[in-house]
Amino acid sequence: MPGSPDFYPSRVGATEDSLRERIDPVIHGRGSAPGPHGLSAEQLRTFEQDGFLVLPGIMADRVASLRAELDRLSTAPELQGRPEVVTEPDSDAIRSLFGVHEFSELFSAAARDSRILTPARQLLADDVYIHQSRVNAKPALLGRSFSWHSDFETWHVEDGIPRPRILTGWIFLDENRAYNGPLLVLPGSHRHYVSVAGTTPERNYLESLKVQQAGSPGIHILRKLAELCGNRIESVVGPPGTVVFHEGNLMHCSPDNPSPWSRTNLFFVYNSLQNQPVAPFSGQAPRPRYLAAPAPFEPLVP
Amino acid sequence: MPGSPDFYPSRVGATEDSLRERIDPVIHGRGSAPGPHGLSAEQLRTFEQDGFLVLPGIMADRVASLRAELDRLSTAPELQGRPEVVTEPDSDAIRSLFGVHEFSELFSAAARDSRILTPARQLLADDVYIHQSRVNAKPALLGRSFSWHSDFETWHVEDGIPRPRILTGWIFLDENRAYNGPLLVLPGSHRHYVSVAGTTPERNYLESLKVQQAGSPGIHILRKLAELCGNRIESVVGPPGTVVFHEGNLMHCSPDNPSPWSRTNLFFVYNSLQNQPVAPFSGQAPRPRYLAAPAPFEPLVP
């Protein structure tokens, strides 16, 4: 669908970053969710206000088997050399493994566990499908940082996701601590849209998964955004098995891991079926399927 | 004095890091200090137990003038291109400026301010002189990490400081926050000595001030040390003007600064006059005077 209206222009050649209005709501329905795993009214308010919600340890019973499966996949001969495997910028340590729900029934089942799927459906008030899945491993001492960015900005520009009706539900496979390279967020930043200067290099993802540059805002707009958010950076921490819901447009980064403890997390990007991608707003070809699921889209069922 | 006994051997060609006994006390006297700036018995206990002590904002009245002086020095024609000025590994931003108390009367006066000098003398129970002074600037977004190390290990191996009767007293010139690249410490680690594998490259300091490798322990010994310290990493934070005393042998690092806020600190390394350097235990030539003050040593007076 080329020529779709672009409500969230970014990397369209401007010389400076700018703040734009977010014209969409943060949560898309306030009805209660079926079953025991729906979020409470207070949890919905936290997500709406901060842009993320932490549920400590609720999927701890899946951690051991998911970690074992990850170990298996990391050395599986059929994965060696595949583009889904991304290494650290300055070592051979695995940084990311994409498409895990397609490689593994165990990962696929985790994505459909109602403890993560029910709240995702509730927050987006719709049937959902997986736009992207990945494991990010941040090895002790070696794991390097990710620059500040809004995921939605990338998904919009590079994948054609029209609106911020998309979120990440993720599971800690290690304890996430203040200083082992946790996600750092600007709470409340999801209520603003940062339109980033410049344009998107062709096949940007070949570099951006190691070191993101296009789409990462400069210091002036970051200071302005931080000020709007009370100059507060928060780390997202908790024990293994913690589940986090993180609104697609939340400004976040993650620092190096200088600690002697590794930090591995499993991410599922859930998109509303009413928010199916159009042609990328960068005007470029869509990214490969392990980064951006192509049609047809089937609703996930628990 | 070549041939001095080496009570803290490190980088002596071992193939593995090892833990060794610290044979010296942490604080060297328990007498009260003269005047209003002596530390209390409780503060002495904190320093002895944790290896550091934080006095929030006590020198706030000096911050504005020190910052202005630093701005002046950063662009002073007489400093351009001098080895005292160290830039970031991947940009031209100033990372460190050494020898500031020799360039500037204002910095020299700060080192003799009784709010920092009196506790330093009290903790070391002796007259002291400045082994090294420096400003470490960690620019917003760009400031890069320092690996784990014990300062004393470097001063011992590369400068011939015989015993851990040496400490750093430092002053925050910016707010130090959890996520703008603060010092990270392993509280209690100063009570163990990590003897590091390998040897010291010739003129190591030309690289080590940007990226330290020799003297930085490996992950196995760091995990062991962390375990001995309750697996707790702590950040040293506070408002501008905070003074910190940090025992020479405390294991610490400092992570990247991914925040939009710069973090600049001023460090004075105070050494006991009874702990004067001998020939470096590496067997190499002493480092330049801006890194390791040479004799004669004059006691600092307020």
Q: In degrees to the nearest 10, what's the CA dihedral of B7, B11, B12, B13? A: 150
Query: Contact B255/A255, CB-based, under 8 Å?
Result: yes
Average predicted confidence (pLDDT) for chain B: 92
Task: Determine the Cα angle at A290 with ends A289 and A291, to 5°.
Answer: 90
CA nearest to B154, candidates B31, B37, B251 = B251
State the best of A17, A141, A232 to mutate against chain B, taking most chain B CBs within 10 Å. Answer: A141
pLDDT at B212: 65
Distance from CA of A240 to the nearest CA of B (A): 16
Q: Which of A54-58, A90-94, B16-20 has the lowest mean pLDDT?
A: A90-94
Strands (E), chain B: 18-21, 52-55, 85-87, 94-98, 128-138, 146-150, 166-172, 183-185, 192-195, 234-236, 243-247, 251-254, 263-272
Instruction: Using CB atoms within 10 Å of the CB of residue B266, give its burial: 0 to 12 exposed, 13 to 18 middle, 19+ buried.
Output: buried
What is the crossing angle of helices A41-50 and A114-124, to 10°?
70
Q: Are A141 and A217 in contact (CB under 8 A)?
A: no
Q: What token pair was written down for A99?
A: 């498409």
pTM of the model: 0.91
Q: Which positions in chain A touch B219 (Cβ < 8 Å)?
A: 140-141, 260
Query: Contact B219/A140, CB-based, under 8 Å?
Result: yes
Q: In degrees to the nearest 10, what's the CA dihedral of B14, B18, B21, B25? A: 100
pLDDT at B1: 45
Query: Contact A184/B258, CB-based, under 8 Å?
Result: yes
Query: Contact A219/B141, CB-based, under 8 Å?
Result: yes
Quick one: which H or E segment has residue A251? strand A251-254
pLDDT at A1: 44
pLDDT at A213: 75
Q: Which positions in chain B touch A140 (Cβ < 8 Å)?
A: 219
pLDDT at A175: 98
**Section A253-263 average pLDDT:** 94
| CA dist., res. B273 & res. B247, Å (int) | 16
| Side chain identity at residue A5, one-letter code | P
Q: Are A217 and A17 in contact (CB under 8 A)?
A: yes
| CA dist., res. A293 & res. A277, Å (int) | 9
Q: Is the peptide bond before A296 cis (omega within 30 degrees of 0)?
A: yes
Residue range B237-268, pLDDT digits in tens:
999 999 999 999 999 999 999 999 999 999 99
- Which is more confidently placed, B143 or B51? B51
| Residues of A within an 8 Å Cβ radius of B | 140-141, 145, 147-148, 177-179, 184, 219, 222-223, 226, 233, 235, 253-256, 258-260
**Section B215-236 average pLDDT:** 95
Q: Are B195 and B20 in contact (CB under 8 A)?
A: yes
pLDDT at B32: 67
Cβ-Cβ contacts under 8 Å between A and B: the total is: 56
pLDDT band at A211 (very low <50, low <70, confident <90, very high): low
| Side chain identity at residue A193, one-letter code | Y
| CA dist., res. A262 & res. A173, Å (int) | 10
Domains of chain A: 18-24+42-77+85-275 (2.60.120.620)
**Section A43-64 average pLDDT:** 97
Q: Are B111 and B101 in contact (CB under 8 A)?
A: yes
**Section B48-65 average pLDDT:** 98
Instruction: Tell whether the model's pLDDT for residue A34 goes beyond 80.
Output: no
Number of C-beta neighbours around residue B23 at 10 A: 10
Instruction: Tell whether the model's pLDDT for residue A23 goes beyond 50.
Output: yes
- Specify the pairing of strand A243-247 against strand A166-172: antiparallel
Which residue from B145, B226, B235 is facing A256, i.e. has the nearest CB?
A: B145
Average predicted confidence (pLDDT) for chain A: 92
| CA dist., res. A150 & res. A214, Å (int) | 12
Which residue from B148, B253, B258 is facing A255, i.e. has the nearest CB?
A: B258
Distance from CA of A207 to the nearest CA of B (A): 18
pLDDT at B157: 96
SS3 category, A204? coil
Residue range A108-166, pLDDT digits in tens:
999 999 999 999 999 999 999 999 999 999 889 887 888 999 999 999 999 999 999 99
pLDDT band at A170 (very low <50, low <70, confident <90, very high): very high
SS3 category, A216? coil
Residue range B158-207, pLDDT digits in tens:
999 999 999 999 999 999 999 999 999 999 999 999 999 999 988 888 77
Percent of chain A's residues with pLDDT above 90: 78
